[in-house]
Structure 1
């Protein structure tokens, strides 16, 4: 009893602390681009959408209706569901393994980074995790005794799950396989009350099925075909490396021991059936997702896919841990705590501009969280200088959704873009009538984000935009975090203008290299051009201040690579410059360019770091 009370006190303390931190982070953290799009879907209520069933969008709408148009309000329903999950895991575990084990399972749920951070973001994985645990508890209950209460609980879980995500089909399939592997499970599946619950779950998919039937199966094609290569990729090995880090290595080992135990028919634990059920559900689903990882989408975030299986394994994980030597148990709890702190620290960093800036130029830079507030401020200022009937035109769905949330406008038109297709949003935007062909009868404020395009494809993208809206006027540049997040704002007239394509400037610094340690005098070399009009000059910036004027116009032929470029200065697009660093303090500094176009445009280029050694 003392052990149970102590475990309960630890759980309650952890729950209060973790929930408070998550709420603070959710209040401070800018919206992730997918969250913004779910908000946009919630402003266009429907039974289903191109990328998801309806539940996530409905929850975002509920959140802003209750909490107002603030990101914390939008995330509030997801925070509540995330806060309930540890209690649900603790209750299920306690029912079959005792109170102390139950509270320990709840504490592990609060500490494991993947589960602990659920609810900070308004994403479909939160309701999907919630309903997966609901079905898990219902299945364990029905294995002991099929009754109306258990069947009703299963029906509720299947109903909510069908409204959460396409991937919930996998949760159903893996659960079904686990039941078929158990004699008690096969007996349970012969009961009419269970099939009534399954029927409710099947009917719940009808809105999503109806949407796909009415839209050329756009959602199904994206989720099951277009986003996955369905061919072997060795990069899937990273999935096996990343997962133990995200759940922490020793806890991962404990959960795998639970999964392995499920395949032992004569396992001798109390509540042997439920033990094997949790182990089989978790083991089968996790193993299958690991194997699918070699054939499915590796470009987008997928590290959270095994979560439903992990919850099943967490229910019994404390039983395994209780058999480990005491020092290994302590190390496991310590590593899991450190993992949670690191995960929360990343979100705190992304929510803090000064800390986020430190990751500028790093592959972990949280671009999808950065810059939306300054962009919205700049957009409002530009709109104030334009005619009253001016509308915003976004370069892709990310910009349209984020600006929509900031400006309170869920109907911002978007240009066609590969990103819209890649994330399965084109069909939905088309249904709303928000895909623009560039034609217009009133002025537009066009907003582009160059960082959303691979650099090698950026010039081609600029020319595609020209084809749609006409030559681009001098842009206003909104640059954050040393230009690692850049936006270009163009005031377009009411009618498409004739003439050759004029694009934003392009540039590259050959020397010095990023992060290079430099001497007292820096010799710079690179190239720059601007299609349609050319550049009139290049200035060198250090830490945002003009350090030197470059000699521009040297022979440097890049037209062999940029074959479609129309800069009239080709092949003389090279520049050189030199500047003295003796007045600069030792340490990291940022090197940038200010590109002056012949049309009067002035564009600050993305900065790169360099190091000055101690002298």
Structure 2
């Protein structure tokens, strides 16, 4: 009884603390771009969409109806599901392995980073995880004896999963494999009540099947074919490195012990042990194998979660058989992983912390800059004629601005990014893909940071073809320019003429993060198609330090064959700056590019280090 009380107290304390932290972070964290698009879908309610079934959008709509058009309101239903999940896992583990193991399984669900952070983002993985756990619970109960309550729970889990994501098909396949391996599972599948539950689950797929039938299977083709390379890539091996970090190493070992136990035979409660182990093992191994051929970037992160939840139910039994020091190490490592996961989201939610991450690999670009951008858009619209509409460069900008401006009908330019994320078909159904025609003034908003730099000039020229020459932009620069936006005031009537693009530039020196001496040598190039560059002004930490000498001959047309800057090849610049007055530490070199059309464009800054003298 003392052990049970202690395990229960630990669970309640952890649940309260984790839930409170998730609420605080969720209220501060800007919307991730996918969340913003789900919000946009929630403002165009439908049974299914191009990228997902309908449930995620329905939950998002419920959240904003309850909590208002605020990030916390949008995330409320997902936070509620995330808070409920550890209780479900605890209840399942208690039924089969005892109260102590049950509370411990719930606590581990609250500590494992992948499951602990579930619900902070309004994404389909949240209801899908709930569906997987409901099916797990129902399947374990049906293995013992078939009854109506367990069949109803199975039907509910299958329906929620079908309404959550295409990927739930994998959960269903893995469950069938596990049941077919177990004698109790084969016996269970002969009961008509189970087949009625399965039939209900099949019916839940009809809205998604209907959408695909009406739209040339666009969603199915994207999920199964277009988003994956379907060619062998050794990068799939990163799964073996990333996943133990995401679930913490000792907990990972314990889960694999459960998976191995699932291959052994036994009776009684052992059937449930094998069931959880088989579900987890088949799921995780399948995703590992698929990682060599599919979208490894996304699979390596969160796809294995349903399998991990199955293994987690029996993990306390394994841990309690280990030496005390190893158990404690496992719990502390899980707690450390949780703290690191929350720490990242906390940093992403704080503008000053995001600024410090600028220039590093883990800079949270998809969370950054949306509120300042919305402020700039509102400011520009006040100076434009009534009826001016916003035109976004891609679906990310359109959805994020839509949430900030409470406008779910912002038009979007055709963009490869829309296709890559499976959103073009849906935008087309909403009549939000801009065809290049306009009858009123428009404020075009571009996000150069979303484009690979080597493809950026071609993208600018493609935009010229769509909307005409681009006027001087207003630059909205965040976090030293690592998230930049360009705002263009387009007149009601399209102007024909040579393509004028935003400026392009590159710093050959200093290199990013370079340590400098008493002087800082600056070398680079800059051009602006259609008009050319007038001058390049330099800044250190936001303070002007003079102009670079612009116009040195440096032919870059081999790399930028389509460039039409009239000053080629005289597009290079040089400068030498005195750094003796700078304090030791990290500093930022900035540039402002002045075009001959009167444009003034702030460029992305470059970090350099002044050593202690």
Is residue 220 of structure 2 the alignment partner of residue 220 of structure 1? yes
Q: Which residue of 2 aligns with 1:64?
A: 64
Aligned to 1:467: 465
CA contact (8 A) 1:282 1:313 kept: yes
The CA deviation string for residues 356-406 of structure 1, in whole angstroms up to 9 with x for no partner, is 111101110000000000000000000000001100000000000000000
* 1:15-34 paired onto structure 2 within 5 Å: 15-34=15-34
2:354 aligned with 1:356: yes
Q: What does residue 304 of structure 1 align with?
A: 302
Map of 1:447-596 to 2, 5 A cutoff? 447-596=445-594
**Structure 2 contact 93–102 (Cα < 8 Å) conserved:** yes
Correspondence for 1:288 among 267, 286, 289: 286
- Other-structure match for 1:188: 188
Q: Deviations over 1:540-569 (max 9, x none)?
A: 111111112110000011011100000000
Instruction: Decide which of 352, 370, 373 is 2:371's aligned counterpart.
Output: 373
State which of 320, 329, 332 in structure 2 corresponds to 1:331. 329
Matches of 2:587 and 2:504, distance apart in 1? 22
The aligned residue for residue 318 of structure 1 is: 316
How far is 1:299 from its partner?
4.0
Structure 2 CA distance for aligned equivalents of residues 239 and 429 of structure 1 = 34
Looking at structure 2, the residues matched to 553 and 481 of structure 1 have their Cα atoms a distance apart, in angstroms, of 29
Native 8 Å contact 1:588 1:610 kept in 2: yes
Q: How does 1:250-289 map to 2 (within 5 A)?
A: 250-266=250-266, 271-289=269-287
SS of equivalent residue, structure 1 residue 550: strand
Counterpart-to-counterpart distance in 2, 1:6 and 1:109: 17
> SS of the counterpart of 2:502?
coil
Contact 2:238–2:300 (8 Å) recurs in 1? no
Equivalent position SS for 1:365: coil
Residue 99 of structure 1 deviates from its aligned partner by 0.3
Q: In angstroms, what is the RMSD of aligned CA positions?
A: 0.7
Q: Aligned runs of 1:219-258 on 2, under 5 Å?
A: 219-258=219-258
Equivalent pair of 1:392/1:447 in contact (CA under 8 Å): yes
Q: Aligned partners of 1:283 and 1:524: how far apart in 2? A: 56
For residues 88-140 of structure 1, give each alpha carbon's deviation from its aligned partner in whole angstroms, at most 9, with x where no partner exists.
00000000000000000000000000000000000000000011000000000
**Do the aligned partners of residues 308 and 301 (structure 1) sit closer, same or farther apart at CA in structure 2, a change above 3 Å counting?**
closer
Offset, 1:586: 0.7
Determine helix, strand or coil for the equivalent of 2:36.
Answer: helix
> 3-state DSSP class of the match of 1:532?
coil
Secondary structure of the corresponding residue to residue 596 of structure 1: strand
**Contact (CA 8 Å) 1:148, 1:193: kept in 2 or not?**
yes
Per the alignment, residue 600 of structure 1 pairs with 598
SS across alignment from 1:508: strand
Q: Which runs of 5+ in 1 are unaligned?
A: none
1:479-534: CA deviations, max 9, x gaps? 00000000000000001101100000000000111100001111111100000000
Aligned partner of 1:206 in structure 2 is 206
**Matched position secondary structure for 1:536:** strand
Alpha-carbon displacement from aligned partner over 1:268-298 (angstroms, at most 9, x marks no partner): 7x61110000110111111111111111112
User: Which residue of structure 1 aligns with residue 55 of structure 2?
Assistant: 55
Q: Does 1:397 find its partner at 2:395?
A: yes
2:537–2:593 CA contact under 8 A, matched in 1: yes
Q: TM-score, normalised by structure 2?
A: 0.99
Partner of 2:120: 120
Would the aligned equivalents of 1:548 and 1:578 in 2 still touch at CA under 8 Å?
no
The CA deviation at 1:300 is 4.0
CA contact (8 A) 1:543 1:591 kept: yes
1:153 corresponds to? 153
Residue aligning to 1:4: 4
Q: Comparing 538-547 with 484-493, which one deviates more in the overlay?
A: 538-547
The answer to whether structure 1 residue 614 and structure 2 residue 612 are counterparts is yes
Give, in angstroms, the shift of residue 583 of structure 1: 1.1
Q: How many residue pairs end up in the alignment?
A: 613
SS in 2 for 1:603: strand
CA distance in 2, matches of 1:308, 1:99: 23
Q: What SS is found at the alignment partner of 1:4?
A: helix
Show CA shifts across 1:296-351 (max 9, x none): 11244641100000000000000000111110000000000000000000000000
In structure 2, what is the Cα distance between the partners aligned to 1:54 and 1:436? 25
Report SS of the residue matched to 1:549.
strand
In 2: Cα distance, 1:288 partner to 1:242 partner: 16
Return the alpha-carbon distance in structure 2 between the equivalents of residues 359 and 257 of structure 1: 38
CA contact (8 A) 2:22 2:117 kept: yes
Detail structure 1 runs of 4+ shifted over 3 Å in the superposition. 299-302
Aligned match of 1:95: 95
1:435 Cα offset (Å): 0.2
